[in-house]
């Protein structure tokens, strides 16, 4: 998990209440491994549209990109059978007038 300590502790507490077997690794900024998954704008848009149709979740660009990256992480062989947690940081309201949600 990465993020500020308060966010990490809050998320850890909630997930622990759902699943007693949940384990989290909390690290300071200096200890965090740096990893980045580049998500193209088109990939984020596609993910947002797919999730809107399938699940009814109205995601913004950042949320869709985070979800797209989490799916990529979940597909890695070393993560088979594991749960991947992603925090969706925005919704689609401010994107209604942008190309993201314009009708094709």
Q: Which CATH architecture has domain 39-104?
A: 3-Layer(aba) Sandwich (3.40)
Where is pLDDT greater, at 27 or 103?
A: 103
Which pair of structure tokens corresponds to residue 51?
């999730």
- Model confidence over 8-44: pLDDT tens digits? 677 777 877 888 877 766 555 565 566 788 999 999 9
Over range 54-66, report the average pLDDT: 93
Tell whether the model's pLDDT for residue 4 goes beyond 50: no
Tell whether the model's pLDDT for residue 2 goes beyond 50: no
What is the residue extent of each domain of the chain? Answer: 1-34, 39-104
């Amino acid at each position: 998990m990465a993020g500020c300590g308060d966010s990490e502790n809050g998320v850890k507490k909630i997930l622990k209440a759902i699943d007693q077997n949940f384990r989290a690794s909390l690290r300071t900024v200096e200890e965090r491994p740096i990893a980045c998954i580049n998500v193209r704008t088109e990939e984020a848009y596609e993910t947002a549209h797919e999730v809107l149709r399938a699940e009814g979740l109205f995601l913004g660009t950042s949320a869709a990109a985070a979800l797209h990256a989490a799916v990529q992480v979940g597909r890695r062989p070393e993560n088979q059978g594991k749960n991947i947690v992603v925090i969706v940081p925005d919704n689609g309201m401010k994107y209604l007038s942008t190309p993201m949600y314009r009708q094709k």
